[in-house]
């Protein structure tokens, strides 16, 4: 568990990290540098879940060395599938990271939503739904590895 007290906002008691794959932690189906190491460090405190439509057919292979559960979404509307997934985990104990319109529901409903404005950009819906915006996935993961950065961003 990762516990972070945000002054004037309350306590985050996080148990799960749910990430979108393509556009968030991978570009064109290839894992971005630094992601694997950071996720494996975070796996000591959080259960890591990677959600993917597997557009490039590389999601499971790219994540094989990460201490994470990889979940391939069913065909169709991914946003509601991602929301249902975090609801089963418990939204109040889940941090989500994504960049697309289909990530906006999970970003909005999680205890903490981080949007990545990376190489593929980010949808306006995802930006509005998130609590924090970062310019690459490693910065987002570093917020969780170094919670004082997160506190500085979210305190009132």
CA distances from 52 to 39, 79, 144 (A): 16, 11, 21
| pLDDT confidence bin for 93, thresholds 50/70/90 | very high
| pLDDT confidence bin for 72, thresholds 50/70/90 | very high
Alpha helices in 8-103 (DSSP H): 35-42, 59-62, 78-89
Mean pLDDT of the chain: 95
Say how far apart CA 54 and CA 50 lie, in whole Å.
Answer: 11
What is the pLDDT at residue 22?
92
What is the pLDDT at residue 57?
86
Element (H, E) at 4: strand 2-6
| pLDDT confidence bin for 76, thresholds 50/70/90 | confident
User: For residue 95, what are the β-bridge partners?
Assistant: 17, 112
| Residue range 32-46: mean pLDDT, rounded | 98
What predicted TM-score, i.e. pTM, was given to this entire model? 0.96
Please report how many Cα atoms fall inside a 13 Å half-sphere around the Cα of residue 64, on the Cβ side: 4
């Amino acid at each position: 568990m990762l516990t972070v007290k945000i002054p004037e906002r309350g306590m985050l008691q996080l148990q799960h990290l749910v990430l979108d794959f393509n556009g968030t932690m991978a570009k064109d189906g290839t894992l971005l540098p630094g992601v694997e190491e950071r996720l494996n460090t975070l796996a000591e405190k959080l259960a890591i879940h990677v959600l993917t439509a597997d557009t490039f057919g590389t999601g499971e292979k790219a994540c094989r060395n990460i201490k994470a559960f990889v979940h391939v979404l069913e065909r169709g509307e991914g946003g509601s599938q991602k929301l249902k997934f975090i609801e089963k985990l418990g939204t109040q104990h889940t941090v989500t990271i994504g960049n697309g319109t289909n990530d906006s529901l999970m970003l909005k409903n999680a205890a903490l939503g981080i949007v990545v404005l990376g190489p593929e950009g980010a949808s306006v819906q995802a930006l509005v739904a998130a609590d924090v915006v970062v310019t690459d996935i490693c910065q987002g993961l570093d917020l969780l590895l170094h919670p004082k950065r997160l506190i500085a961003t979210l305190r009132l």
